[in-house]
Chains A and B, each alone.
Chain A
Amino acid sequence: MLSLSGIGKRFGSRPVLRDVDLSVRRGESLALVGENGAGKSTLLRIIAGLEHQDEGTVTRSGRVGFCPQEPGLLDLLTADEHLVFFGRGLGLDARTARAEGHRLLGEFGFPERMRGVVTRKLSGGSRQKLNLALALLDEPALLLLDEPYTGFDQGTYVCFWEHVRSWTEAGRGVVIVTHFLNEIERVDRVHELTPCLAEAA
């Protein structure tokens, strides 16, 4: 489902990723861990096709659902309007997009009364829940999640990891950037990225 071979990336003269190989099969979850600046988010963006690698190849199949670390939302659109906006891109009509979005938001405990509120007025956790629901719309085959639980309360956080299991059981591949090493037993495999300090020095 996903295979990376020899991925390298520099920002100017600063190397960020060097010779990264990894793969994810259908129904498998993989945690990307590493220090700040190790290139986890950059690697996820390369996998999504939002960033160009300088070296190596990315091979993937199926549609990607990408949940960035910071919710990329329009401040003055409501949650419902975001669902319709993203849904139309996926070829869904407005009613279907809203229905599926409401189901996903409900699973993460997004308050029903907040669906019509502009995202600028939502809490950080609620914005993140919408961010995640948008990535999950129309059941993508490969999920790329960059610390998707930021701002979640404890209950939603635990629930999130249960969802990861259900997504893999449904045959999806899941790549999660995480700092929480106590959760890594919840995923099938872990890939640690190390900062390219030696070369940078």
Chain B
Amino acid sequence: MNRLRQLLTIAEMQGRDLLRRRGALLMLAAMPLAFYFALLGKGGYAITTGGVGMAFSVSGAALFSMLAAKRIEPRLVLAGYRPLDLLLGRLLLLEALGLVIVLLTTALMTVVSRPPHPGFVLAGIALTVWVAVPLGLAIATLIARELEGVLAAIAVVGVQLSLPIDSPAAPFLPLYGPLQILAHGGGIHASLLAGAGAGLGYGAALLGVATLAWRFRLRMLPATR
């Protein structure tokens, strides 16, 4: 019970911190919309590009939520929090935030673009959040410096954006899966099964990487008692 309360406290405090960053929240909402509306006349491509914009936003939010708390977290562990719970609490918050983004963005894209398979647009956006949150967390735990972390996120998502979805190199990047589903939702030929498998797999793998790196970084060294 105490552990659950601690998890909820972590999510609550991260949420309070994030919600007070009004400028950042505005950018978080505006970026996918800017990507989407930039290609509005291009049918399904507007939807996949909007998905990439969302990946930028969500992974950026995850990255900065980790980096903003970098100095306080060793103290929180000393105060009794488990390192893994600090990560899980943040994941809880970001996935909840992602759910709101999924619903709002899907509603907007469905109304504006009238895609042939709106259910797959919803699934693709949900899968984007599933991959982008652990992507931001993994980058923040592995790199832990603001500039280098942001550049790494831009590199991964930017290269994905520049590759056609049927490029042989595309499956080697983490957003391949969500983009396949989004493309199908927007009426572009894409590989659904491979996309779903890759998206779920990349999300889980990135979460695993983030967890391992996090546990290593926040490992406490118990003195002999």
Contacts and interface: CB of A to CB of B under 8 A. Distances in A.
A61 interface: yes
B220 A61 contact: no
A66 B225 contact: no
Contacts of B225: 59-61
Given A66-B78, A74-B13, A86-B76, A50 B71 contact: no
A85 B9 contact: yes
Given A64-B78, A84-B9, A89-B76, A52 B221 contact: yes
A40 B225 CA distance: 23
Most buried by A among B5, B71, B72, B222: B72
Nearest to B9: A88
Interface in B22-63: none
A118 interface: yes
Interface residues of A, number: 33
A75 interface: yes
A148 interface: no
A8 B69 CA distance: 29
A134 B75 contact: yes
A91 B224 CA distance: 23
Interface string A74-100: 111100010011101111000000000
B223 A58 contact: yes
Given A70-B71, A77-B13, A85 B224 contact: no
Most buried by A among B74, B78, B80: B78
Contact of B223 (A49, A72, A137): A49
Contacts of B221: 49-52
A132 to B, nearest CB: 12
Interface string B183-207: 0000000000000000000000000
A129 to B, nearest CB: 16
B2 interface: yes
Contacts of B16: 76-77, 81
B72 A90 contact: no
B100 interface: no
Contacts of B72: 72-74
A88 B6 contact: yes
Contacts of B220: 49-50
A196 interface: no
Given A66-B78, A89-B76, A74 B21 contact: no
B224 A74 contact: no
Given A70-B71, A76-B21, A118-B20, A57 B76 contact: no
A74 B80 contact: no
A58 B220 CA distance: 13
B146 interface: no
A68 interface: yes
A124 to B, nearest CB: 15
A144 B213 CA distance: 27
Nearest to A59: B224
Interface string A14-44: 0000000000000000000000000000000
B208 to A, nearest CB: 24
A85 B81 CA distance: 10
Contacts of B212: none
A72 B21 contact: no
A122 interface: no
Interface string A42-56: 000001111110000
Contacts of A86: 75-76, 79
B58 to A, nearest CB: 20
Contacts of A74: 13, 17, 68-69, 72
Interface of B: 2, 5-6, 9, 13, 16-17, 20-21, 68-69, 71-72, 74-76, 78-81, 220-225
9 contacts: A49-B221, A50-B220, A58-B223, A59-B224, A72-B74, A88-B6, A90-B79, A91-B2, A137-B79
- Nearest first, the 3 closest Cβ-Cβ pairs linking A and B are A89-B79, A72-B71, A89-B80
